[in-house]
């Protein structure tokens, strides 16, 4: 996850901890970790940060006041941060569509909870329920909302959808026909997980790259029984993809704000003979072709070091490109 998105997620989680413990004063850190899907140590680290946060002024009376240990958390003064963050209309709409797709799923554990949550969302959203999303949105947001409305109708009616999709991994645009199975959001973007008969597998589509979507009369089969989904790895790629190792110039580490990568700690930085500082980094190889194009475009600030087959492929692509100039000169 890019560092900017990770910081936003951490801030959101921390702001939700205070109202959580105020509402559940008897909960331990271990129980909170279970509810938030985190490790107890992460909850304690968040509480330690909150203990030093507060209103402008930086005086003791302006800071959050709490007593916390692994067995007990007491919030004495939340400095006004005592309400959980609310869902945006788009987030609520995506959640409602997901719940509605689960309501009639055979064999669902605790189906009553799903139905109850969906009913509460319908009541809160009011008129939004008809179109699922705010119809007064403009530009790209209106386009995305329209796309999701068609996807929602396809999930309700068990139909397939057809659309044009631009894939960033292959840099191509093609017509796709799929059976939508799930809608989810991550790092501020909304995605549709769907079964595609042409490849006999599930595929993930980013909503803002979908154009001209239509609801077809073909019966949909989203193959829900074979769908595996994890909030920690929604693209099911981290556990399946080989890791790419590369070096980034220290001044280029801002790239980590825009793409998923892990950066080494300062102690592992490398200084070359020219005095340039390089930061070891890695990321999953989701798409070989895309990463080759990306690494060549960043060749002035990036060096791929492994795996060997990828280094060879990049060098081969560079050599072929440079050779084209010789052919033209001849």
Q: Spell out the domain ranges in the chain.
A: 3-77, 89-226, 243-329
Contacts of 286 (CB under 8 A, 6+ apart): 169, 235, 237, 241
Report the percent of the chain where pLDDT is more than 90. Answer: 12
Q: Which residue has the higher pLDDT, 260 or 1?
A: 260
Question: With bands split at pLDDT 50, 70 and 90, how would you rate the model's confidence at 9?
Answer: low
Q: Which residue has the higher pLDDT, 55 or 18?
A: 18
**Which of 8-12, 50-54, 80-84, 299-303 has maximum average pLDDT?**
299-303
CB 189 within 8 A of CB 145: no
Q: Which pLDDT score, from 0 to 100, does residue 6 have?
A: 55
Beta strand pairing call for 302-306 and 277-284: unpaired
Q: How far apart are CA 289 and CA 78, in angstroms?
A: 50
Mean pLDDT of the chain: 76
Q: Which pLDDT score, from 0 to 100, does residue 216 have?
A: 92
Handedness of CA 314, 287, 263, 258 (dihedral sign): positive
Whole-model pTM over 0.75: no
Question: With bands split at pLDDT 50, 70 and 90, how would you rate the model's confidence at 179?
Answer: very high
As a whole number of Å, the CA-based R_g of the chain is: 24
Structure tokens at 24: 């559940």
**From 15-24, 88-97, 266-275, 298-307, the region with the lowest mean pLDDT:** 88-97
- Please compute the mean of the pLDDT values over residues 260-284 and round it to a whole number: 88
């Amino acid at each position: 996850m890019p560092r900017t998105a990770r910081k936003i997620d951490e801030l959101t989680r921390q702001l939700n901890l205070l109202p959580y413990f105020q509402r559940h004063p008897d909960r331990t850190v271990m129980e909170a970790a279970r509810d938030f899907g985190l490790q107890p140590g992460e909850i304690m680290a968040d509480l330690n940060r909150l203990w030093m946060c507060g209103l402008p002024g930086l005086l003791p009376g302006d800071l959050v006041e709490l007593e916390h240990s692994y067995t007990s958390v007491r919030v004495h003064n939340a400095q006004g941060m005592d309400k959980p963050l609310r869902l945006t209309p788009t987030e609520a709409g995506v959640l409602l569509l997901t719940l509605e797709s689960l309501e009639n799923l055979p064999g669902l554990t605790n189906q009553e909870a799903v139905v109850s949550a969906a009913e509460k969302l319908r009541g809160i959203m009011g008129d939004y329920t008809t179109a699922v999303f705010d119809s007064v949105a403009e530009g790209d947001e209106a386009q995305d909302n329209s796309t999701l409305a068609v996807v929602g109708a396809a999930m309700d009616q068990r139909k397939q959808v057809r659309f044009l999709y631009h894939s960033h991994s292959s840099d191509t645009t093609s017509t796709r026909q799929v059976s939508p199975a799930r809608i989810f959001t991550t790092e501020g973007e909304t995605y549709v997980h769907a079964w595609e008969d042409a490849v006999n597998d599930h595929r993930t589509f980013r909503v803002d790259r979908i154009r001209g979507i239509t609801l077809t009369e073909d019966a949909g089969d989203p193959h829900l029984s074979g769908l595996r989904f994890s909030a920690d790895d929604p693209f099911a790629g981290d556990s399946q993809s080989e890791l790419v190792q590369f070096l980034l110039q220290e001044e280029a580490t801002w790239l980590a704000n825009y793409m998923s990568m892990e950066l080494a700690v300062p102690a592992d930085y490398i200084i070359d003979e020219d005095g340039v500082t390089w930061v070891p980094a890695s990321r999953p190889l989701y798409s070989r072709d895309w990463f080759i194009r990306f690494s060549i475009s960043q060749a002035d600030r990036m060096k791929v070091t492994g795996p060997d087959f990828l280094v060879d492929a990049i060098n081969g692509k560079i050599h072929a490109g440079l050779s084209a100039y010789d052919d033209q000169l001849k």
